[in-house]
Amino acid sequence: MLKHILIWTVGTFIVLQAIQIDIPEPPKNIDPKNEIQAPKEIMPMLKISCYDCHSYQTKMPWYGHVFPMSLEVKSHVKEGRIAVNFQEWGHYDDAKKQKIYKGIAKTINFQMPMPMYLSIHEDAKLSKKERKQIKTWAQSHIVEEER
Ligand code: HEC
């Protein structure tokens, strides 16, 4: 009996692995000129704390391929790249850049990087000072509309 349960459980687990989310393939030629040019103290923070979801340089962890975690992880990468891809910066128009700078200033204190991600990626944690640096940088690019 126990053996059957075990076989069914393992079998179901294996079958469920077929459920996958596809992240679109990165383009073949990624032009480095399109990458965001942030100051040298900001750039490493973006790379360490944001690039997994906001660039083509995703370091996919092993559990990112295992159902059900894969659905969560891959959808974050997929949605994250759509919201902001720092390697596609050169293709964004001013309105999109403004939206992103505002988004960064708004989300850097709590929402970004995603708390769930931080619970696993110790190295991506940003100190209060670092968050402030990123916020100040983002704000310096926000153009207030004239009234
Ligand atoms: C684990 C994946 C993940 C990481 C790491 C991550 N993000 Fe995101 N980010 C997302 C996803 C998914 C979305 C789109 C869904 C949403 O808006 O909640 C998003 C959306 C955003 C947006 C648009 C939100 C808005 O309201 O305009 C900004 C700006 C952003 N992220 C900035 C950052 C910055 C800056 C970092 C690094 C400090 C970062 N993110 C790290 C997954 C991530």
Q: Give the integer Cα–Cα distance in Å for 84 and 70.
A: 21
Percent of the chain with pLDDT over 70: 99
Q: Give the integer Cα–Cα distance in Å for 33 and 31.
A: 5
Cβ of residue 31 lying under 6 Å from some atom of ligand 1: no
Domain ranges for the chain, please list them: 36-140
Q: Does position 147 have pLDDT exceeding 80, yes or no?
A: no
What pLDDT is stored for residue 146 in this prediction? 66
Cβ of residue 107 lying under 6 Å from some atom of ligand 1: yes
Cα–ligand 1 centroid distance for 132 (angstroms): 17
| Per-residue pLDDT tens digits for 66-117 | 999 999 999 999 999 999 999 999 999 999 999 999 999 999 999 999 999 9
Q: Does position 1 have pLDDT exceeding 90, yes or no?
A: no
Nearest-CA residue for ligand 1 atom 27 is: 103
Q: What is the pTM of this model?
A: 0.93
Residue from 76, 108, 98 nearest 142 by CA:
98
123-126 long-range contacts (CB < 8 A, ≥24 apart) are 123/48, 124/48, 124/49, 124/52, 125/49, 126/45, 126/49
